[in-house]
Every structure is written in structure tokens, then in C-alpha cells.
């Protein structure tokens, strides 16, 4: 039961799923009855490829964005290799790197976009650096051309953490249709969801085959058999693998979400982010990140709250039933990744200023107006005092 009290909460994020997703799941449960990885997953992969519009690229679905990153890193590195990655990202980016036996090397970000600072990354190169993982923070790919130039100059593989960037373009080209290995997440609150899920998109056929096998315990060509409705009883295994395959049940949700994305989810997210930008630009004590809404479909709506007032504002909004978030706690501060042994001053400053405001396709313009009114009122008051 939803009480009136809960009703008034403006949520930071939420899944937007309904009858169509429910019907798709029922179809798998009641008509097909095969819940593992089969034809529904194959169809989702084909539809993702059609959406991207790039037949030369392979799409491999897995059961989370983290699994996509893990398998992508594992496919193109060896244990002990170093991977350059911005510290200011979701924990999953770092855990995926260590899961593959590699060492995440925490880098600074460019403050305007919170994407990888290539000058800083350059200083952290060693003979063991084998890959770089740019994170498309708040759906902005940042200087992606710069990342690929940097990678080519130093012979590095690129694993894009595009978990925020499904459906975005970079200089007019869809994320995923170019580049080395591009990883998406379809978890509950991302631009599209399959409940849980993710995908690796790549043009590297060899890496694609390793990833395709590794999602099914490393059994060679198991995907091909399953998509033909068969099972592998006699098989060969040469690589470490996992149970990372996507289920038909979840793929059915993802297929509906993909259908809804261009007409429904993308324009809603863009419109709401545009309204935030209009209403918050020029508010003293607050800074917006760079975002070209002709290219990106924002997954989150972070702003920088200056003057040490972030936590105060967060508490104030919380009291009004407006949920906010902090994306993210920098990974270099976590015990597993050095516990702050290296210092990243830009990242640490941003960590104290970042505040994510509510953003999801079911949010209304009225709610965004109310949030912005409260934010600018609160910060304006502080200025006068």
C-alpha cells in the first residue's frame, strides 16, 4: 500500500515499466517456457544491433553492466596489467578491473564534464599499462577522440564504461557504433532496463568470441547452439568463464524498453534535463556540468554545489521529500583500492560538491520546477546572509 506520505516523495530515480513489459515476461513464462538464454536474448541482441545501426559490430548481452565490463577487460588484458580509469565512477568500474586480475590506476577527471583527465592519465602510464577505461559520466563521453588518440599513441585497449550513455551520440555517431569495446548497463534505473543486464558492443571479432564463450562458463560456441535451440553435451573449454549470460525473461523486458526508448524515454529525459538547465543556470553557488542535449540522453542530473553547502542543501531537500544522490564516492578512497594512499585533489574537491537531483522518465516538469525553486531559494538565501 502506498501511503500519502510516500506519495509525496520525489524519487531520485526509478524504473519505468508497465503492462507491456509484464506481458512480454508472461509470454516467455507461459508460452515459451524456456527461461535461460535462448531466442529472446538473441532477438534482444539483434534489435540492439539494429538500433545502433551498425552491422559490423557484435552485441553480446550479459546479466549486468558489471559483468560486461569484467568480460571486456578480461578479453583484452592479462592478469597484472594496469588499467587507467577515473576514480570518480561507480564502484563497478573498479571491481570489474580487479575481477579480471588487473590493477585499476585511479586518475583525475576534467571538472567541467567529470570525464577522464588525459594529462593526468598520461603521468600514470607505466610499462604495465595495457588499457584505459573512460567513463561517460552523466552520459557525456567527454573528449572521446582524445581518449582514442591517447590509446593509439600508447598501444592501449579502450574499454568504454558507457553504462550511463545508452542512446547517446558523440559527434553525431551513436555510442557503441565505433570504438574498441563499449559496455552498457541495463540495470533497473539506466536509460533502458532489462531488470538487470548489460551488453558489450565491439567490432573485434576475436574479443567478441572470447566474451560470448566466457558468459557461459567458457564453453566454446555454446551461444550458437543455444540460439539454435540445442545444448552442448560434449564441449571444449580454454578460457576462464562465468555464468554471466542474460535470461530470456530479462531480455523480454529489455526488448520492450528498447522499443519505448526513442519516442518515450529519450525525449522525456532530454526535456527534463533541459528544464533543469534553464531553471538552474545563473543560480549563484551552483554550477552545471557541460552537456549537449542534442547528443546526450542524461541518465543522472548532477550539479556542483559550491561554498561547502552541498550537505546542507541535501538535508534541506531531503526534508521536503526530494531525494538526492552523490555520484560517486571516489574509488581511490576505498580500502580495497588504496584507501586514499594517492591523493587526487580535483576528484576529492568534486566529491564534496556533487549532488544529483531527481531524474527519471516519470518525473514531471512541475516536480523539476519545484525542485529548482527550492534549490535556488535555498542557495539565494545563503548569499544574502
89 binds ligand PLP per the rule CB under 6 A: yes
By rule CB under 6 A, what count of residues binds ligand PLP? 14
- Is the Cβ of residue 44 or residue 90 nearer to ligand PLP in the bound state? 90
Task: Output the CA torsion sign for 254, 256, 262, 265.
Answer: negative
Alpha helices in the chain (DSSP H): 4-7, 19-26, 39-52, 65-76, 91-99, 118-123, 144-154, 205-214, 222-227, 248-260, 266-280, 310-319, 345-353, 365-384
Closest by CA to 326, choosing from 343, 307, 313, is 313
Q: How far is the CB of 47 from ligand PLP (least distance, A)?
A: 19
CA distances from 287 to 111, 242, 355, 368 (A): 11, 43, 10, 17
Out of 161, 213, 295, 353, the only residue in the binding site for ligand PLP (CB under 6 A) is 161
- Is the Cβ of residue 159 or residue 280 nearer to ligand PLP in the bound state? 159
**Other CB atoms closer than 10 Å to residue 231's CB: what's the count?**
10
Considering only the stretches 41-49, 157-165, 213-221, 370-378, report the one whose residues sit in contact with ligand PLP under the rule CB under 6 A. Answer: 157-165
Residue carrying the nine cell digits 598520461: 122
Residue 181: helix, strand or coil by DSSP? strand
Out of 93, 129, 248, 331, the only residue in the binding site for ligand PLP (CB under 6 A) is 93
Residues with catalytic roles: 190
- Which residues are CB-neighbours of 362 under 8 A, at least 6 positions away? 14, 16
70 binds ligand PLP per the rule CB under 6 A: no
Q: Is 368 left (phi over 0), alpha (psi -120 to 50) or beta?
A: alpha
- Is the Cβ of residue 316 or residue 337 nearer to ligand PLP in the bound state? 337
* Residues of this chain, 118-137, that bind ligand PLP according to CB under 6 A: 135
For residue 264, cis peptide bond before it (omega within 30 degrees of 0): no
- Is the Cβ of residue 164 or residue 255 nearer to ligand PLP in the bound state? 164
* Residues of this chain, 283-302, that bind ligand PLP according to CB under 6 A: none
Q: How far is the CB of 26 from ligand PLP (least distance, A)?
A: 24
Out of 48, 92, 207, 372, the only residue in the binding site for ligand PLP (CB under 6 A) is 92
Q: How far is the CB of 209 from ligand PLP (least distance, A)?
A: 23
- Is the Cβ of residue 62 or residue 379 nearer to ligand PLP in the bound state? 62
64 binds ligand PLP per the rule CB under 6 A: yes
Q: How far is the CB of 134 from ligand PLP (least distance, A)?
A: 11
CA distances from 130 to 82, 104, 152, 371 (A): 6, 11, 11, 44
Considering only the stretches 62-70, 100-108, 273-281, 330-338, report the one whose residues sit in contact with ligand PLP under the rule CB under 6 A. Answer: 62-70
* Residues of this chain, 163-182, that bind ligand PLP according to CB under 6 A: 163-164
Q: Do the beta carbons of residue 160 and residue 204 sit within 8 Å?
A: no
Q: How far is the CB of 364 from ligand PLP (least distance, A)?
A: 24
351 binds ligand PLP per the rule CB under 6 A: no
330 binds ligand PLP per the rule CB under 6 A: no
- Read off the DSSP letter of residue 137: G
Binding characters for ligand PLP, 180-209, by CB under 6 A (x = yes): -----x-x----------x-----------
- Which residues are CB-neighbours of 365 under 8 A, at least 6 positions away? 271, 272, 275
- Is the Cβ of residue 135 or residue 317 nearer to ligand PLP in the bound state? 135
Helix 65-76 to helix 91-99 angle (10° resolution) is: 40
SS3 sequence of 25-57? HHHHHHHHCCCCCCHHHHHHHHHHHHHHCCCCC
Considering only the stretches 14-22, 23-31, 159-167, 207-215, report the one whose residues sit in contact with ligand PLP under the rule CB under 6 A. Answer: 159-167
Residue 237: helix, strand or coil by DSSP? strand
Closest by CA to 229, choosing from 42, 60, 38, 46, is 38
- Is the Cβ of residue 47 or residue 187 nearer to ligand PLP in the bound state? 187
Summarize as ranges the residues that interact with ligand PLP (CB under 6 A).
64-66, 89-90, 92-93, 135, 161, 163-164, 185, 187, 198
Amino acid at each position: 500500500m502506498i501511503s500519502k506520505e510516500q506519495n509525496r516523495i520525489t524519487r531520485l530515480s526509478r524504473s519505468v515499466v508497465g503492462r507491456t513489459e509484464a506481458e512480454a515476461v508472461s509470454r516467455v513464462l507461459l508460452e515459451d517456457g524456456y527461461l535461460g538464454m535462448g531466442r529472446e536474448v538473441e532477438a534482444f541482441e539483434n534489435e540492439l544491433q539494429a538500433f545502433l545501426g551498425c552491422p559490423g559490430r557484435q552485441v553480446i548481452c550479459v546479466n549486468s553492466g558489471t559483468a560486461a565490463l569484467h568480460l571486456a577487460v578480461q578479453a583484452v588484458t592479462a592478469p597484472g596489467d594496469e588499467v587507467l580509469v577515473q576514480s570518480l565512477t561507480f564502484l563497478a568500474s573498479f571491481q570489474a578491473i580487479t575481477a579480471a586480475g588487473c590493477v585499476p590506476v585511479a586518475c583525475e577527471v576534467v571538472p567541467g564534464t567529470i570525464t577522464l583527465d588525459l594529462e593526468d592519465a598520461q603521468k600514470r602510464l607505466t610499462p604495465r599499462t595495457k588499457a584505459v577505461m573512460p567513463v561517460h559520466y552523466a552520459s557525456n563521453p567527454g573528449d572521446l577522440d582524445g581518449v582514442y588518440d591517447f590509446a593509439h599513441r600508447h598501444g592501449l585497449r579502450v574499454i568504454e564504461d558507457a553504462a550511463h550513455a545508452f542512446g547517446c551520440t558523440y559527434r553525431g555517431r551513436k555510442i557503441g557504433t565505433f570504438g574498441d569495446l563499449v559496455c552498457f548497463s541495463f540495470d533497473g534505473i539506466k536509460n533502458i532496463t532489462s531488470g538487470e543486464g548489460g551488453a558489450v558492443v565491439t567490432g573485434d571479432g576475436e574479443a567478441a568470441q572470447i566474451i560470448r564463450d566466457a558468459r557461459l562458463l567458457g564453453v566454446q560456441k555454446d551461444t550458437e547452439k543455444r540460439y539454435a535451440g540445442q545444448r552442448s553435451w560434449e564441449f571444449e573449454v580454454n578460457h576462464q568463464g562465468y555464468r554471466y549470460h542474460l535470461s530470456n525473461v530479462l531480455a523480454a523486458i529489455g526488448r520492450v524498453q528498447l522499443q519505448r526508448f526513442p519516442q518515450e524515454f529519450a525525449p522525456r529525459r532530454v526535456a527534463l534535463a533541459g528544464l533543469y538547465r534553464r531553471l538552474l543556470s545563473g543560480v549563484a553557488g551552483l554550477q552545471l556540468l557541460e552537456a549537449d542535449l542534442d547528443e546526450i540522453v542524461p541518465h543522472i542530473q548532477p550539479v556542483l554545489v559550491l561554498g561547502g553547502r552541498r550537505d546542507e542543501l541535501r538535508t534541506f531537500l531531503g526534508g521536503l521529500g526530494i531525494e538526492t544522490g552523490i555520484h560517486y564516492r571516489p574509488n581511490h578512497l576505498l580500502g580495497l583500492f588504496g584507501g586514499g594512499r594517492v591523493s587526487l585533489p580535483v576528484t576529492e574537491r568534486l566529491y564534496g560538491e556533487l549532488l544529483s537531483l531527481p531524474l527519471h522518465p516519470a518525473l514531471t516538469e512541475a516536480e523539476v520546477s519545484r525542485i529548482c525553486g527550492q534549490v535556488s531559494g535555498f542557495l539565494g538565501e545563503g548569499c544574502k546572509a
